[in-house]
Amino acid sequence: MKFKNTHKDHQITDESIYQSRRKLLKAGLIGTAGMLSSPNFALTLPKSEPNSKFVIDELTREQDATTYNNFYEFSLSKSGPSEKAGGLKTDPWSVEVGGLCEKQGTFDLEKLINQFQLEERIYRMRCVEAWSMVIPWNGFKLSDLIKYCKPLNSAKYLYFETLYDPKQMPGQNGRSIPWPYREGLRMDEAMNDLTLMAVGMYGKNLPNQNGAPLRLVTPWKYGFKGIKSIVKIQFMDKQPINSWQAIAPNEYGFYANVNPQVDHPRWSQATERRITGGFSLFNSRIDTQMFNGYGDYVADMYNGMDLRKNF
Amino acid sequence: MTRFLSPIKVLLFIALMIPLGIIVFDGFQNNLTADPIEELLHRTGIWSLRLLLLTMLMTPMKVITGSFVFIRVRRMIGLFAFFYASLHLLIYVWLDLGLDWAHLLEDIIERTFITVGMLAWLLMLPMAITSNKRMMRKLGKTWKRIHQAIYLVICLASLHFIWLVKSDITEPLIYTGIGLSLLLFRVAHHYHGKRSKHKGSTNTG
């Protein structure tokens, strides 16, 4: 993916250094963590202004947020994705938009991103496994993309799909999940001000292991709703079935709103281990907040719904 | 039996301390992932299960090789399995739950994988306490009863592992498969032994 000012980037980096770095990257010799966030380092994201509404003081260390996460397309372990995702080619990248909308088609992500205003938002991320992080995301509002696609009145849900390519995503050779990974949102959830399409984190390109080049971020929902490496978006009139719900419907629902009162059958959701980085063996668990603390923004959408049934 | 420590036992003791050594080393290196409590739980748990299976392997090894060395080291391996299981439990109750007893009780009652895990540890406790000569003599036949609980412990530990995994249960199934094979060996050997006895064999099983 090349952005408007990519060629300027060539000019400020000495050409020979640039080329050798490029070669090293191609050979997979430069790791992803710490130095460069992903192989497509030539990508320069448009500037994203911090959104002052979403600021949290203690961030998770970048090093931890980029080396400890779930991405079964690469590995079942938490460190595996950062070790194995380097080969994912995210440039160029296209997203297929279809279903009940006027503007159907396959869009080049680079061109798409340039249609929207990028911003930085610091969100809590609560995994269904009862650990959590605080991550600064760079991205655009999903509502902007939805408006751009001009949905029909009959569109009530949005459906997303991750790339399916076992050659690039070795975890897809296993059968842990019926591939590709699928997610969905109700239209009002998708249009919610909180819902972000992230293309970066910590002010850099989204690292491959964190879902490059495009992922969903819904901070009031458990982390697995944040589908990564999106290639397909579809407007639908029926509620789609998301991957985890398909695997274990008694454990994972469609909504997956963070809710300390509704336990997962195999673990309590009342508390969480906050991962900030550094020595944390003796850190005590913290209380999990309803809607992960974002009730002011989202609670209205679920008025009158039994959240025990619609978990 | 000599009163001296046999070199085999000393070496085995050192070998069985190595997993703990690595854990402590990684701890000091801050090398226990971003979520060290989870990592500690996993490592101590998996070592306990491995050593349980190794304990179970000692009788078949004796039967196959005829060497009593396997029986002499069996107790130590079993005690180390208990040691790692106890570390596992301690990390869970102390570091993870922060000694929140209400949370512990809720977990034990509501979460089946914790129920079976707890049960497995509770069954290992009397085995560990009676793992000495004095108790062996004192308890006689009851001693064997107590220690036959290892069959149940293996099953419970395997369930504990299977039920905590989110989707791909390949790894716990491999351990379960090994455990079941060892159990099957016992069953087969038991009946084989009985038949042999009828034929006048001195095989004691």
- Which of these, A194, A195, A128, lies nearest to A158 by C-alpha position? A195
Residue B195, amino acid: R
pLDDT at A29 > cutoff 70: no
Q: Are B156 and B116 within 8 A, CB to CB? A: yes
> Is A197 a member of any domain?
yes
Mean pLDDT of A282-296: 94
In a domain, B202, yes or no: no
Question: Predicted ipTM?
Answer: 0.82
Q: What is the pLDDT of residue B89?
A: 98
The structure tokens listed for B24 are 């402590």
Given this model, what pLDDT does residue A71 score? 97
In a domain, A196, yes or no: yes
3-state secondary structure at position B65: helix
Q: Which residues of B touch A176 (CB under 8 A)?
A: 167-168
Structure tokens at A297: 């923004």
Does the annotation place A226 within a ligand binding site?
Answer: yes
- Chain A interface, mutation test: which of B35, B37, B112, most A Cβ atoms within 10 Å? B35
Q: What is the pLDDT of residues B92-119, one digit of tens each?
A: 999 999 999 999 999 999 999 999 999 9
Task: Quickly list H helices, chain B.
Answer: 7-28, 36-65, 69-90, 101-110, 112-129, 133-139, 141-147, 149-164, 170-198
Does A64 sit within 8 Å of B34, measured CB to CB? yes
CATH code where residue A210 lies = 3.90.420.10
Domain that holds residue B123: 7-193
Q: For A176, name the nearest residue in chain B, comparing CA atoms only.
A: B168
If one counts the domains in chain A, the total is: 1
CA distance A248 to chain B (A): 9
For residue A209, which of A78, A53, A47 has the smallest C-alpha distance? Answer: A78
Residue B48 to residue B54: CA distance in whole angstroms:
10
Residues in chain B within 8 Å Cβ distance of A281: 27, 36-37, 40, 95
A21 contacts A30 by C-beta, under 8 angstroms: yes
| Statement: the pTM of the whole predicted model exceeds 0.95 | no
**What is the domain count for chain B?**
1
Look up residue A4 and give its amino acid.
Answer: K
Q: Around Cβ B99, how many Cβ atoms within 10 Å? A: 10
| Chain A residue with minimum CA distance to B99 | A284
- Nearest beta carbon to residue B167 from set A177, A267, A282: A177
Mean pLDDT (whole number) for A35-42: 42
List, as one string, the DSSP characters of A175-236. Answer: -SS-SSPEEEEEHHHHHSTT-EEEEEETTEEPPGGGTTT-EEE-TTB-GGGS--SEEEEEEE
| pLDDT, tens digit, 9 for 90 and up, residues A203-243 | 999 999 999 999 999 999 999 999 999 999 999 999 999 99
Determine contact, residues A139/A132, Cβ cutoff 8 Å.
no
Q: What tens digit of pLDDT does each residue of A80-103 get?
A: 999 999 999 998 999 999 999 999
To the question of whether residue A227 is assigned a binding role by annotation, the answer is: yes
> Nearest residue on chain B to A66, judged by CA atoms?
B34
Query: Residue type for A151, please?
Result: P
What is the span of the domain harbouring residue A287? 46-302
- Give the pLDDT confidence of A189-212 residue by residue, as tens digits: 999 999 999 999 999 999 999 999
Q: Are B191 and B205 in contact (CB under 8 A)?
A: no
Residue A84 lies in a domain: yes
